[in-house]
Amino acid sequence: MRSPVHREGWPAIGIFVGLNALLFLFAGPFGWIGVPLTAGCIWFFRDPERVTPAGGWRVVSPADGRVLPFAVTPPPAELGMGDTPLTRISIFMNVFNVHVNRVPCEGTVIALAYRPGKFFNASFDKASEHNERMAAHIRSTGPDGREIDLAVVQIAGLVARRIKSDLTEGQQVTRGDRYGIIRFGSRLDVYLPQGIAPLVAEGQHVKAGETLLADLAAADLAAADLATNGTTAEDPTT
């Protein structure tokens, strides 16, 4: 049976439990002050089960949180995906959201790139460009053999100072699988080729591994291919 608490949380929980025990030992009734703090730490690192939509060539939210305004912008340069603008769907996680991150779609991890940076409020657009981040380039293959490249980026926030990713280059990933965690409020960006319409709205609250962000099979694949490769399937010059 899987633990309801993410493994990254156990060291912090152990510290809270130890300090709480010392309070009871040396301060008697004042030890009760630490009980809600310890419970809050356990609650923050909760890792609930999720039911990921089965079938289809679809993208799910990698994080719990609120959808920020969409943007059309190039993916992180360190991934080597080029400077073609892509559709960016951003999800802001406050301290009350589940912070376990999940893989948005099936595919192969082509590249990983960590970049140190600043710690602006993660709800600001400049956080995507300037904050510390861990980016992953995933290549997903559809039932018809077509390939689409997308990126998912973990971004540190004003309070979040630790990004954890369990992905490795060359790894085969499955939609909805756990792959990392960010502590104490942060942001996840998903970059999709233009021509793939988001299925969520700005301001909507989403759940990691459950809420659908996009349906790749229903996308305008000609436009997506043009955005990714600069050509279309019907282009006789290719």
Residue 26 and residue 134 in one domain = no
The pLDDT assigned to 84 comes to 93
* Mean of pLDDT values over 132-154: 93
Strands 58-60 and 212-215: antiparallel
Mean pLDDT of 30-57: 87
203 and 143 assigned to the same domain: yes
pLDDT band, residue 226 (cuts 50/70/90): very low
pLDDT at 159 over 80: no
Residues marked as catalytic: 186
In a domain, 125, yes or no: yes
Asked if the structure places residue 51 within a domain, the reply is no
Give pLDDT tens digits for 75-125: 999 999 999 999 999 999 988 899 999 999 999 999 999 999 888 888 888
Q: Is residue 236 part of a domain?
A: no
Tell me, what's the pLDDT at 125?
85
CATH classification of the domain holding 179: 2.70.70
The whole domain housing 207 covers 58-229
